[in-house]
Amino acid sequence: MELNSQSYQRFILIKPTYSNSSTKILKGGTMKFIFLLMVALMSETNQTQADEESTQQHYEKAIFAGGCFWCMEKPFDDLDGVINTTSGYTGGEKVNPTYEEVSSGSTGHAEAIEVQYDPKKVSYKTLLEVFWKNIDPTVKNRQFCDVGTQYRSGIYYLSDEQKELALASKKEVQKSKHIEQIYTEILPASKFYPAEDYHQDYYKKNPIRYHYYRFRCGRDKRLKNLWG
């Protein structure tokens, strides 16, 4: 079929219109698919975050002081149900104390650990049992070879239930081991300050130095004499 000038002009006008319409439909469909995909991914991410937050809401914390915090992390890390342990400082007045300040004994803080745990897997009572077996409660303001208020032992409760369990465990230890005087303080928790990064998981990062320190300090020998 021959196209006259008028038909030709109509043809070139119509064809682009048809082509652009198809392109618009294609682009529109693609954009809609991408949008729906993004919505689905965002929904999945939000749900994952919500699940994690919901799980974390069921975690609880406990704070203990037992002398050198390097030596207090591992016994709790070995427990099924313990999520994390953090070395730090508590019980003092200075805000954001450094290790040098705390170790000098001038801030009133004690070296301590914060234990995050799942109460569905491990109870606070079990944490207390592990705590007592890793300290010497018969001495005041010291633990093994470390001397000073910064090395005192203590249980710092975060709820009335923790307080009751801590006091009951102290009585049980005193009775079962025939200990006349227990110097481990049981007080409401105050602000806990995480220690510097190089102190965290020290027993993993520096196993040789860690084991040498425990041996030199006589920690394991004294614990065996106390608890068997």
Residue 194 is encoded by which pair of tokens? Answer: 């995480």
Taking 3-state DSSP, the helix, strand and coil percentages for the chain, each rounded to the nearest 5, stand at: 55, 15, 30
Question: What b/e sequence results for 86-125 when a residue is b if at least 16 CB atoms lie within 10 Å of its CB, and e otherwise?
Answer: bbbbbbbeeeebeeebbbeeebbbbbbbbbebeeeebebe
Q: Which of 68, 71, 145, 217 is catalytic?
A: 68
Q: Report how far residue 124's alpha carbon sits from residue 118's, in angstroms, rounded to the nearest whole number.
A: 10
Query: Catalytic site residue 145?
Result: no
Q: Which residues are within 8 A (CB) of 129 and not within 5 positions of it... i.e. 6 or more apart?
A: 169
On whether the CB atoms of residues 132 and 186 are closer than 8 A, the answer is no
Pairing of strands 110-117, 142-143: unpaired
Output phi, psi for 146, to 5 deg.
-95, 125
Q: Which residues are catalytic?
A: 68
